[in-house]
A and B are shown apart, each in its own frame.
Chain A
Amino acid sequence: MADKITVGHVHMSGCTGCLVSLADNYEGLLTILDKYADLVYCLTLADVRHIPKMDVALVEGSVCINDECSMEEILETRENAAIVVALGGCACYGNTTRFCRGGQQNQPQHEGFLPIGDLIKVDVYIPGCAPTPQQIRNVCLMAFLLLKGNDEQKALATAYLTPLMSLAAAGTEACGCDLMTEVINQGLCCGCGSCAAACPVRAVTIQYGKPQVERDLCIKCGACYAQCPRSFFSFEVCGQYEAITNLIGEVMKP
Chain B
Amino acid sequence: MEYLGQYKAVYKAKSGCEDILAKAQDGGIVTSMFAYALETGIIDGAIVAGPGSEPYKPEPMIATTVEELFAARGTKYSVSPNLALIKEATRSYGLDKIGIVGTPCQIQAVRKAQLYPIGMRDVPDKIALALGIFCMENFPYQGLFQMVEDHCATKIDNVTKMDIGKGKFSVYTERGVNSQIPLKVTHKYEQPGCHVCLDYVANMADISTGSVGTPDGWSTVFVRSAAGEAAFNKAVEAGWIIAESMDGVKPGLELVEKLATEKITKNQKYLEHRLHKEHPALKPLRNPYI
Contacts and interface: CB of A to CB of B under 8 A. Distances in A.
Interface of A: 126-128, 131-135, 138, 160, 162-164, 166, 182, 186-194, 196-200, 205-206, 208-210, 223-224, 226-227, 229-235, 237-239, 241-242, 244-245
A229 B108 contact: yes
Given A128-B118, A193-B83, A245-B115, 5 more contacts: A132-B117, A190-B103, A190-B105, A193-B86, A233-B289
Given A197-B119, A199-B119, A235-B289, A206 B81 contact: yes
Given A128-B119, A194-B83, A242-B226, A208 B140 contact: yes
B286 A188 contact: yes
Contact of A227 (B119, B125, B198): B119
A186 to B, nearest CB: 5
B288 A134 contact: no
A162 B106 CA distance: 22
Interface of B: 60, 78-88, 102-103, 105-106, 108-109, 111-125, 138, 140-142, 191-198, 203-204, 225-226, 285-286, 288-290
A197 B197 contact: no
Contacts of B83: 192-194, 196-197
Minimum-distance CB pairs A-B, first 7: A198-B119, A193-B81, A209-B79, A193-B84, A223-B119, A191-B79, A193-B83
Contact of A233 (B106, B112, B125, B141): B112
Contacts of A164: 116
B285 A238 contact: no
B82 A134 contact: no
B125 to A, nearest CB: 8
B112 A238 contact: yes
A134 B122 contact: yes
B171 to A, nearest CB: 20
B288 A233 contact: yes
A90 to B, nearest CB: 15
B193 A245 contact: no
Contact of A186 (B80, B81, B286): B286
A192 B121 contact: no
B151 to A, nearest CB: 20
Contacts of B80: 191
Given A187-B193, A208-B142, A233-B289, A227 B113 contact: yes
A235 B105 CA distance: 12
Contacts of A131: 118
A13 B253 CA distance: 58
A131 B117 CA distance: 9
B204 A135 contact: no
